[in-house]
Structure 1
Amino acid sequence: MLSLPSQLLIRNLDLFAEGQWAIVNPSDVHIFSEIESDKVVGLHQMFDMYQGASNISKHKQYYAADFTAIPALKENKLDGAVIYLPKAKQHLDLLIHQLNDLLKIGGQLLVVGENKAGIKSVGKLLEKLGSTVNKIDGAKHCGLICVTKENEASKAFNLESNGVIRTYSVNDLPVKVFSLPGVFGHKQFDPGTQLLLSELAPKSDRLLALRGNILDFACGTGIIGTYLLKANAHVKLVMSDVSALATYCAKKTLELNEVEAQVIDSDGLNEVSGTFDAVVSNPPFHTGIKTNYDITQQFIVDAHKQTRPRGKLMIVANRFLPYADTLSKQYFKSQTVLQTNKFSIYEAAK
C-alpha cells in the first residue's frame, strides 16, 4: 500500500522522465512499482525497506549509512533526488548534506512528507543548496518541497564528523558512546535504557547470570551491549538493528571502548542466526512518527525461538505498552522486575 507521501509523489512522476534520480529512505517500497524510468535508484538506511524494494523492484537499490561512499553514485552524479521526510530534523539535515555531494550543479533536491511530520518547515534547511525553494505540490495532508542546487559544498561530506561522542556513567562504569542524528539515543542516555541497566549493576546476581551468547536487539548507539561487555567478561555479544546509521554508531561505540561484538543489519531477527543464552533490549515501538506495537510483539515471539532452554529475555518498555501478555504466552515464566510511572522492566525465562 502506498503511503500518503508516495501518493503525493506519483502525482508528479514526470519529474523522473529525464536524468538519473534517487528515491531516498522511502516510507514504503511500492513507490518503485509506479516509476517507469530505469534511471531511478533507491537509497536506503533502513534494512527492511532495502530488502523489500530489492525483492519487488527492477530499480537498483543501495543500503548504506553514508550514500556518498557508494562508488556508482560518486562516478555518475544525480540529476535529482527525493528525500522522504524523516522523524528527526537533524537526520534530514544529515541527508541533505549527503545528497548535496551527489547532485550535479543544477540538480533538484526534493523533500516529501506529511504536514504533521513538519514538511512545512523544511525550506530553511534546503536553502543551504540554493536560493529558491518552492512548494511543487500539496495534497493528502502532505507537501513536496524543491530546491535547485546552485553551488558545490565547501567541503566533502564526512559521516563520522557529524557524530557526537559522549561519556556516560553506567552504574559508575564510564561508557563512551558515538551517536548520529536519526539514531535512538542520539546525544542522550535514554531514561528507559538507564533503568534497564540499573538492574544489571556490576557484581549483581542478574548481571553475573548473563553468560554465553548474548543478543542486544535494536542496539541503537550500542550502549547496552557495550556496557555488558565492559561489566561482564563472560559474555559473547551480538548486536542487531534495522538502521544502517545505528549499526554504524554501534561499531564506533565498540571501538571507542576497546571491546568487540558482531554487529548485524537485520529486519527483526531475520538476519540473526544461532541461539542465545540471553536477549537484552530496549525495543522500538515507532515506525517513523507512528506508534507500532507489532515490531516488539514479533520480536518477543522470534526471540523465544532463538533463546536456548533456560535462556532469558530482558526488556524495558514504556509502561503503557501491552507486552506482559505476549511474554506470559511465549515464555515458561515471566515477571515485571521493576515498574515506575513511565517504564516497566520485564524478564522472561524459557
Structure 2
Amino acid sequence: MGHHLQAGKLMLCAQSQLLLRNQSLFGVGKWALVNPGDTQIFSELETEASLPNAPTLFGLHQYYDTYKALASSSPNTHFFSAAFDQSQTGELDGIVIYMPKAKQHLDMLIANMAQLLKPDGLLLVVGENKGGIKSVAKQLERFCFNINKTDSAKHCGLISGQVSAEKTNGHNFDIDKYAVTRSYEINQQSIKVLSLPGVFGHKQLDPGTALLLQQFADHKQVKQMRGQFYDFACGTGVIACYFLSLSERLKATLSDISALALYCAERSLALNGLQGKVVASDGMQEINGSFDHILSNPPFHEGLKNDYGITLNFIKTAHAKANRGCKLTIVANRFLPYPEHIQNTFHSFSVLCKTNKFSVYQGSK
C-alpha cells in the first residue's frame, strides 16, 4: 500500500535527477533499476544508448503501476515480482535500488540484489535525505566493500558499494526468511497472516483495519453474506481472510499494487485453507466483474507525501462495479475528505463508527 507513480509520467523524481548527474557510472554492461520512482528515467538513460558499448537496462519492479507503464512502452525488459532471480537477468554489472520507506524492506532488497550481481559488481542506493539515505552505508556492509557516498543533490543522496564474493559466498536469497507469520484473534475468530517488510500492517494488525472488522463482529451476520466480495488494497489479505473464514458463500477478489502484498495475501489465504483471486492492479484497472461487498482500508500515502487521489478514484470505480444493494465499507483517518465523496457517489451513506483517529464509512448502492 501507499506506493503511487509520480504524477505525469514525464516528470523525473529527484532521485532520478541525481542518477542522471552520475550517468558515467552506468558505463557498460548489464544494469538494473529497482523500484524506480518514475518511468522517464529509462528513456533518459536510453538517449545515451546509441553510443557504442551502451549498457543493457532491466527494470525490476515491486509496484504494478510503474511496471505496467514501462512494460507497454519501454524497449527494455521489465519484471514484476516480489523477488528476482538470475534466470531473469543473468549476472548484472550494476544495480540501483530506489530506497523504500521501510528499513527492513531495503535489507531484503540488498540481499536479493547481492545475488544478482557479479563479484565486485556495483550496488547503488538512491534516496531522499528525509527517507534515511544517510544510514544506508551501514546496511550495505552485510554484502559490500568499498562503500562510498557518491553524490548528493536535490535533498537526495547516492551511496555505492561493491558486492564482495567473500560475503555473498553461500548466500541464497530466500524471501521467506524475511516473512513473519502471526495469528490474530479477530472478533473471536483466529486468523493466520503472513507479512513482509514494506507491506502495510507488517508489524501488527493495523488499528484501522481492526476497527473496520469490529463492525462485523456478529458471526451470524457474516455467515449469511454471499456473492462477490472485493478487498481493495488488500495488503496482507487479513480482511478477506476474516470474511472467507466465516462465510463459505463468498467468492473473493483481492487486489494490490504491491507484489510483496500480493505474495503475502496469497500465503495468508493458504495458511487459513481459503481460496480467493489475487490480482495485481493499479487502482481497479485490472478488476473485472461486479461485486456485492466491497471493503478496504485504502492507502493515502504516495511515498512520503499524502495522496487522496487513489481512494477518490477507487470510490468512483467501486460504485461502477457495485451490484445493486452492494455495500462499500472503508476505514480512514478522520481528517481525510472521503465522506462527501461517498455521499455524492452512493445512494445512501452512514458512519458506522468513529474514534478520535479513525472513522468507518459505508455507502450502499
Show the counterpart of 2:282.
267
1:313 is matched with which residue?
328
The answer to whether the Cα contact below 8 Å between 2:223 and 2:246 also exists between their aligned partners in 1 is no
Is 1:304 matched with 2:295?
no
Q: Which moved more, 1:8-17 or 1:40-49?
A: 8-17
- Asked whether the equivalents of residues 315 and 345 of structure 1 are also in contact (C-alpha less than 8 Å), the reply is yes
CA deviation after TM superposition for structure 1 residue 42, in Å = 0.5
Which amino acid letter does the alignment assign opposite residue 34 of structure 1?
E
Alignment of 1:207-226 (within 5 A): 207-208=222-223, 210-226=225-241
| SS, match of residue 260 in structure 1 | coil
CA contact (8 A) 2:93 2:118 kept: yes
**Native 8 Å contact 1:101 1:153 kept in 2:** no
Matches of 1:258 and 1:95, distance apart in 2: 30
Structure 2: how far apart are the matches of 1:160 and 1:19?
31
Alpha-carbon distance in structure 2 between the residues aligned to 1:130 and 1:16: 18
Q: Report the Cα distance in structure 2 between the residues aligned to 1:162 and 1:106, rounded to whole angstroms.
A: 25
Name the amino acid aligned to 1:264: V
For the residue of structure 2 that corresponds to 1:131, the secondary structure is strand
- Shift of residue 202 of structure 1? 3.6
76-85 or 208-217: bigger deviation: 208-217
Q: Which structure 2 segments of 5+ residues have no match? A: 1-10, 50-54
Structure 1 position 209, deviation (Å): 5.7
Quick check: 1:258 aligned with 2:273?
A: yes
Alignment of 1:1-350 (within 5 A): 1-36=11-46, 37=49, 39-68=56-85, 71-73=87-89, 76-151=90-165, 152-203=168-219, 205=221, 207-208=222-223, 210-350=225-365
For the 8 Å contact 1:30–1:53, the answer to whether it is kept is: no
Runs of at least 5 residues in structure 1 that lack an aligned partner in the other structure = none
Report if aligned partners of 2:134, 2:157 keep a CA contact under 8 Å in 1. yes
Q: Percent identity?
A: 49
Deviations 1:260-285 (A, max 9, x none): 11100111111110000010110111
**Greater displacement, 108-117 / 194-203:** 194-203
The 1-side partners of 2:233 and 2:224 are apart by 22
> 1:334·1:348 contact (CA, 8 Å) conserved in 2?
yes
- The one-letter amino acid of 2:24's match is D
Deviation at 1:162, TM superposition (A): 1.7
Q: State the alpha-carbon separation in 2 of the partners of residues 153 and 224 from structure 1.
A: 41
Per-residue Cα deviation, 1:295-343 (whole angstroms, up to 9, x for no partner): 1111101111100111110000011111001101111111111010010
Q: Aligned-pair distance for 1:161?
A: 2.3
Shift of 1:227: 0.6
Q: Distance in 1 between matches of 2:269 and 2:337?
A: 32
Q: Distance in 2 between matches of 1:167 and 1:222?
A: 13
1:149 and 1:95 map into 2 onto residues whose CA distance is 13
Alignment-mate amino acid for residue 245 of structure 1:
L
1:24–1:81 contact (8 Å) kept in structure 2: yes
Structure 1: distance between partners of 2:138 and 2:169: 16
Tell me the SS of whatever aligns to 1:132: strand
- Does the 8 Å contact 1:109/1:148 carry over to 2? yes
Structure 1: 4+ residue segments shifted above 3 A? none
Question: Given the superposition, is the C-alpha separation of residues 202 and 259 from structure 1 closer, same or farther in structure 2, using an over 3 Å criterion?
Answer: farther
Instruction: Determine helix, strand or coil for the equivalent of 1:270.
Output: coil
User: TM-score of the superposition, structure 2-length normalised?
Assistant: 0.92
One-letter amino acid matched to 1:59: N
Which of structures 1 and 2 has the larger relative contact order (alpha carbons within 8 angstroms, sep 6+)? 2
Q: Per the alignment, in what secondary structure is the counterpart of residue 35 of structure 1?
A: helix
* TM-superposed deviation, 1:22: 0.2
Q: Distance in 2 between matches of 1:183 and 1:154?
A: 28
Give the SS at the match of 2:71.
Answer: helix
1:133, CA displacement in angstroms? 1.1
Question: CA offset at residue 211 of structure 1?
Answer: 1.8
Q: Pairwise CA RMSD of aligned residues?
A: 1.2
Indicate the SS of the match to 2:26. Answer: helix
